[in-house]
Amino acid sequence: MEHALYQPLGGNVMPRFGGIATMMRLPHVEDPAGLDVGFVGVPLDIGTSNRSGTRFGPRQIRTESVLLRPYNMATRAAPFDSLKVADLGDVALNPYSLLDSVRMIEEAYDRIYATGCKTISLGGDHTLTLPILRALARYRGPVGLIHVDAHADVNDTMNGEKIAHGTPFRRAFEEGLLDPQRVVQIGLRGTGYHADDFDWCRAQGFRVVQAEECWHRSLAPLMEEVRAQMGDGPVYLTFDIDGLDPAFAPGTGTPEIGGLTVQQGLEIIRGCKGLDIVSADVVEVSPPYDQAGTTALVAANLAYEMLCILPGVTYRT
């Protein structure tokens, strides 16, 4: 490619405990023009319903990302050899207003997508995906959705509010941001307020893969089916960290037992290779409940794996 590429800062250049904590110690760039991909932090937690703290998620994910290196030894992906990637910093939010923050997120992503730059977002509660999808729809139209989560996030309201971290995909469906025949939700589980809580999703045409269907098995065969369902159309990948079992990712606001393993999470993301992934996010990391940094470390690795499956990535054989 014609433009100069960036590489993560290596541990032999600056010790991993030193320097500024950007994602993978990439350059911090304010202007997305000329970038292929930008990591973006969305320090939001005023949409949460149980434990707050996800406003600190992006910063901690970046801190744990210092352990990551440029090359994926499992898949042979070499994303920095073909894509220009940088850290675009955080979206400035209004900590006193969720609706105003949603507006600010949408406007920030509109500016990014107008340049042709894709995003991998670091959250932040799951409310953030709605304004991202709103901005993305202006450039890509309705998208397919691969949604990893313990919860369907399709409530009509939460405490009477239409916008919260449990409502984004109901709103996205209503607003025509999704192609419902190309929506897959993986890892749903737990208890509900109604016996048919997941049936609304199925009634709209979503495929629902509950966590129990994933126990004790590889998800590689599932992802073959998902790739066929997604076809050649644009796809957004959203990964709520509570889709993983709290044994692996305890630092989140609404943990549910019986979740996916880290290996299954990797199979899902790696299984997206070949799809037209137009952007992605990993959300709901809450550092106050993550004393050892384990959850943020997992999230940093998942974000890197998302980068590795984007179109245009080079693979070294």
Residue 153 marked in a binding site: yes
For residue 58, which of 288, 306, 282, 310 has the smallest C-alpha distance? 282
Residue 151 marked in a binding site: yes
309 close to 273: Cβ distance less than 8 angstroms: yes
Residue 149 marked in a binding site: yes
For residue 254, which of 266, 262, 246 has the smallest C-alpha distance? 246
Contacts of residue 217, Cβ cutoff 8 Å, sequence gap at least 6: none
Query: SS3 helix, strand, coil % of the chain, rounded to 5?
Result: 35, 20, 45
Tokens of 298: 């997992």
Residue 240 marked in a binding site: yes
178 close to 223: Cβ distance less than 8 angstroms: no
Q: How far apart are CA 54 and CA 288, in angstroms?
A: 8
Tokens of 291: 């004393």
DSSP of 95-160: TT-HHHHHHHHHHHHHHHHTTT-EEEEEES-GGGHHHHHHHHHHHH-SEEEEEE-SS----S-BTT
172: left (phi over 0), alpha (psi -120 to 50) or beta: alpha
Q: How far apart are CA 186 and CA 201, in angstroms?
A: 12
Task: Please work out, in degrees rounded to the nearest 5, the angle formed at the alpha carbon of residue 201 by the alpha carbons of 196 and 203.
Answer: 85
Q: How far apart are CA 28 and CA 210, in angstroms?
A: 39
Residue 290 marked in a binding site: no
Q: Which residues are annotated as a binding site for Mn(2+)?
A: 126, 149, 151, 153, 240, 242
Residues annotated within a binding site: 126, 149, 151, 153, 240, 242
